[in-house]
Structure 1
Amino acid sequence: MDASWVSDLNHIVLQNLVPFGTRLLGAIALWIVGGWVIKMVKAMSRRGMAARGLDATLIEYLESTIGVMLRVLLVIAVLSLFGIETASFAALIAAAGVAIGMAWSGLLANFAAGIFLILLRPIRVGDFIQAAGITGTVKEIGMFASVLDQPDNVRTFVANNKLFSDNIINYSSNPFRRVDLVAQLAHSVDPKAAIALLKARVAQIPNVEISPAPDVEILEFNPAGTKLVVRPYCHTEHYWQVYFDTNQAIVDVSGQAGWPIPAPHQVLRQHP
């Protein structure tokens, strides 16, 4: 009986476990090789699209789509090694896709919004934008969400549908933008002389546009004196550098000219 039991065990191992182990090893090898091939195909497709001068945003989107499609085909190939009918599996994927599509309509909306972002191109990779309550540089436009790096170096993922349905402010579309600052003058300071000094000084700041020239005009009159608006123009990349340098220029000009510190003036009249 013992010999018969050992013989039956050997028969079970040879008939079931050995073929299953062989398929398992083949599936692991196929998964590893397939993953390497997918990486190679994505790299080659990226180089090919870049050589044809396609937009960086479109390249990222197409590369991501190619990777997902190839990964699905790889999963089907791996399952076929275990005897699973690929036709049945494809039908199962289709049925699951319908069910998931009905349950996760938001994801489909994000996918559609991503396509519109690619085709209409209101934003591109590298643009500095403000949308969906987030301000930052676009790093990636994915299939369902886009990646933005905020000025404080915080990475934020925004759903494409939320991004596309909101107002998009693209600071990188035009060659320059305006920096808005003010300079408060005391009552004793001549506004015309102050305007001339500030215009000359702000024009010397690095990265300030020559045309249009910086604007320095009277904004309002208040209890402290005359308030001037100081508006240089620069490229988005140099915005904060020009912003802080303009503030420093206002301080330097006021100090060199000896302007008094502005303070509200009040006149009190006493009636008998």
Structure 2
Amino acid sequence: MEITTWINKAYDLLLEYGPKVLMAIVIWIIGIWIIKIVVKNVRKRLEKNDHDPSLKNFLTNLLDWVLKVVLILAVLSVVGFEPTSFAAVIAAAGLAIGLALQGSLANFAGGVLIMLFKPIKIGDYIEAQGEAGTVKEIEIFTTKLLSPDNKEIIIPNGALSNNNIVNYSSQPQRRIDLVFGVGYDSDIKQTKEILMQQLTSHPNVLQDPPPVVALTELGDSSINFVARPWVKTENYWPTYFAIMENTKNALDAAGIEIPYPHNVQINKQE
């Protein structure tokens, strides 16, 4: 008898909620499809108008989230869960939800601040939160970096917007700081001429501001010179590596020694 009663109740529930659940599933599938089309069209329009890639990704990501929240409310309404009841539940559990979403809200606010003040943009090479890499994507809650060895680094926007950021790409020009140590018996004038010649002869080195070569330190075992050429930001590392190699070859050709530690072995006789 009890089994029959349970079967009848299950049948009644199926009749009452089955069509609603089926309708909710259909609305969800269609809604997700429509959201994808809307977001895709908005993204194309932003690309057509040549908007900042960082702003484009942020806005389309935000639009996607907002439309999905609206869709969820619509699905809950079809099932029979009224939005007003949903709001009442949220209000009743406001403190717990507020604590749970505190980090997410801070990250969202951080994302908005990044979009407003633009300390970084997609393609910039930055250093922040102990990490360094090229900005790959700025989303609502997080920013994704790509490290030089191709690792993806995800940093919360809240932490990113409230701490120091070193942006290596924000300026069109950068100065390369190089230090070369030569032996104490080396001719200072000749060494400076060789270093300057390596800087001025490189095609990537800018003449304005002019490169600088100066004796900077009398070290324990070497005379240290600084070489400071200016280059376009995108040419920084290729120029750095080339000048290092060319200067070493030029100093060797001139017979100017670059000191290095020597291991001296002392034999003790008993």
Q: TM-score scaled to structure 1, two decimals?
A: 0.83
Q: Deviation string for 1:101-156 (max 9, x for gaps)?
A: 23442322222222111111111122111222222211222222211122222211
**How far is the alpha carbon of 1:196 from its aligned partner?**
1.6
Unaligned runs of 5+ in 2: 262-270
Retained in 1: the 8 A contact 2:46–2:56? yes
Q: 1:48 aligns to what?
A: 45
Q: 1:67 aligns to what?
A: 64
Retained in 2: the 8 A contact 1:202–1:249? no
Q: Deviation string for 1:163-200 (max 9, x for gaps)?
A: 12212211111111111111111223222222222222
Q: 1:270 aligns to what?
A: none
For residues 19 and 39 of structure 1, the distance between their equivalents in structure 2, rounded to whole angstroms, comes to 32
* SS of equivalent to 1:259: coil
**How far is the alpha carbon of 1:9 from its aligned partner?**
6.9
| 1:133 partnered with 2:130 | yes
Retained in 2: the 8 A contact 1:109–1:161? yes
| 1:200 partnered with 2:174 | no
For residues 12 and 136 of structure 1, the distance between their equivalents in structure 2, rounded to whole angstroms, comes to 57
For residues 149 and 92 of structure 2, the distance between their equivalents in structure 1, rounded to whole angstroms, comes to 44
For residues 218 and 113 of structure 1, the distance between their equivalents in structure 2, rounded to whole angstroms, comes to 45
Q: 2:176 aligns to what?
A: 179
Q: 2:232 aligns to what?
A: 235
- My pick for the range that moved more, 82-91 or 129-138, is 82-91
Q: 1:113 aligns to what?
A: 110
Q: 2:209 aligns to what?
A: 212
Q: 1:188 aligns to what?
A: 185
For residues 230 and 120 of structure 1, the distance between their equivalents in structure 2, rounded to whole angstroms, comes to 35
Query: What is the count of residue pairs matched by the alignment?
Result: 258
Q: 1:268 aligns to what?
A: none
* SS of equivalent to 2:60: helix
For residues 137 and 260 of structure 2, the distance between their equivalents in structure 1, rounded to whole angstroms, comes to 50
* SS of equivalent to 2:65: helix
**How far is the alpha carbon of 1:54 from its aligned partner?**
2.9
- My pick for the range that moved more, 62-71 or 98-107, is 98-107
| 1:80 partnered with 2:77 | yes
For residues 44 and 70 of structure 2, the distance between their equivalents in structure 1, rounded to whole angstroms, comes to 23
Retained in 1: the 8 A contact 2:194–2:251? no
Report sequence identity in percent: 40
For residues 186 and 132 of structure 1, the distance between their equivalents in structure 2, rounded to whole angstroms, comes to 40
Mapping of 1:135-150 within 5 angstroms? 135-150=132-147
Q: 1:30 aligns to what?
A: 27
* SS of equivalent to 1:81: helix
Q: 1:156 aligns to what?
A: 153
Retained in 1: the 8 A contact 2:204–2:231? yes
Q: CA RMSD in A?
A: 2.7
**How far is the alpha carbon of 1:205 from its aligned partner?**
3.2
Q: TM-score scaled to structure 2, two decimals?
A: 0.83
User: Does the C-alpha gap of structure 1 residues 97 and 202 become closer, same or farther in structure 2, counting only changes over 3 Å?
Assistant: farther
Unaligned runs of 5+ in 1: 265-272
Retained in 2: the 8 A contact 1:186–1:263? no
1:124 to 101, 113, 121: 121
For residues 196 and 132 of structure 2, the distance between their equivalents in structure 1, rounded to whole angstroms, comes to 30
For residues 146 and 120 of structure 1, the distance between their equivalents in structure 2, rounded to whole angstroms, comes to 15
Q: Deviation string for 1:193-251 (max 9, x for gaps)?
A: 22222222233335333322322211112243421112222233332222211210121
Q: Deviation string for 1:60-80 (max 9, x for gaps)?
A: 221111111111111122222
* SS of equivalent to 1:32: helix
**How far is the alpha carbon of 1:39 from its aligned partner?**
1.0
Specify the code of the residue in structure 2 equivalent to 1:129.
I
Q: 2:167 aligns to what?
A: 170
